[in-house]
Amino acid sequence: MSTSPQLPQQYHSQSPSDSTDTIAMIIEIVFGLFGLLGLGWLYVGNFVFSLAFLFGYWILLAIEGVIIAFSGGLCGCLFFPLNIVLIVVSGIKVRDHVRRTGASGSILYVIVALVLALLLLCVVGGIAVVAFGGLAALSDQLNNF
């Protein structure tokens, strides 16, 4: 009885028609350009990474803003390319995560996150308007003395 050499079997975690990895990468990059880094991770259901990337990126942008303000805007040209690279690398990482784990995406998570982000923006904007209005009224009162 002769045995033929066996070829190694290839395993695919997802079908070729499944584009979850590409969609997750595009969501991560596009929304990352608008300051919402982490939505690609949210799309594939990784809530911990999503929140870590989102809040971490906001903290990084705040630190960069302070440094840019103190440098008179000179450091802005350094931070812009750094942020672009960070966003693209995060997009590639989420794509690789989907390919490695076979995670599936849900656009519902992204829609809920966007609605919550808009509500948060409205609340913070309303508080800022009230606070600055109060400061302006206080300034007028002090100028009248």
pLDDT band at 25 (very low <50, low <70, confident <90, very high): very high
Separation CA 96–CA 22 (nearest Å): 10
pTM (two decimals):
0.70
Instruction: Evaluate if residue 16 carries a pLDDT over 50.
Output: no
Cβ neighbors of 27 (< 8 A, separation 6 or more) are 39, 40, 43, 110
Note the maximum CA span of the chain: 108
Residues 6+ apart with CB under 8 A from 75: 64, 67, 68
The tokens for 37 are 């880094």
Q: How would you label 88-114 residue by residue, b for 16+ Cβ within 10 Å and e otherwise?
A: eebbebbbebbeeeebebeeebbeebe
Helix (H, G, I), strand (E, B) or coil at 114: helix
Q: What average pLDDT does this structure show over 59-85?
A: 89
Mean pLDDT, residues 72-78: 83
List pLDDT tens digits, range 94-121.
999 999 988 888 888 888 888 888 888 8
54-83 mean pLDDT: 89
Q: What is the mean pLDDT of residues 15-42?
A: 85
Domains of the chain, by residue range, sit at 20-144
Report d(CA 64, CA 58) in Å as an integer: 10
